[in-house]
Amino acid sequence: MPAITDIVVGSVAFLHLGFLVLEMFLWDKPLGLRVFGHTKEMAAKTKVLAANQGLYNGFLAAGLLWGLILGADGTSVKIFFLSCVLLAGLYGAATASRKILLIQALPAAIGLALVVSS
């Protein structure tokens, strides 16, 4: 079970690295516009905010990867950062888009359940 747990935690981390790239570097590019459903005008107005949000996603990913690198000693680190991801996902689902519940909160909840139960 620890291998499956690490795969899920790693997947959540890499998902957030993907968010970092989309929000910091591709926000106003065709892929970013398509993923987030923004117009070029809206993307131009919100580019700085998106980059800031991307940086936060990078910190979440870094924390999860740190927990994985620590191995068994990283359990509390993984719990903390998965909880942060879960809460951010729940907040995003409540305030921005319900899709965030499936894309961000659900993987974090699964990872959290696996870490806590192992």
* Tally of CB atoms within 10 A around 15: 19
Query: pTM here?
Result: 0.92
Do 87 and 56 meet the contact criterion of CB atoms below 8 Å apart?
no
Residue ranges of domains in the chain: 2-117
Task: Return all residues near 78 (Cβ < 8 A) that are at least 6 apart.
Answer: 9, 64, 67, 68, 111, 115
Per-residue pLDDT tens digits for 11-36: 999 999 999 999 999 999 999 999 99
Tell me which DSSP letter residue 28 carries: T
Per-residue pLDDT tens digits for 92-115: 999 999 999 999 999 999 999 999
- Alpha-carbon dihedral sign for residues 24, 27, 30, 31: positive
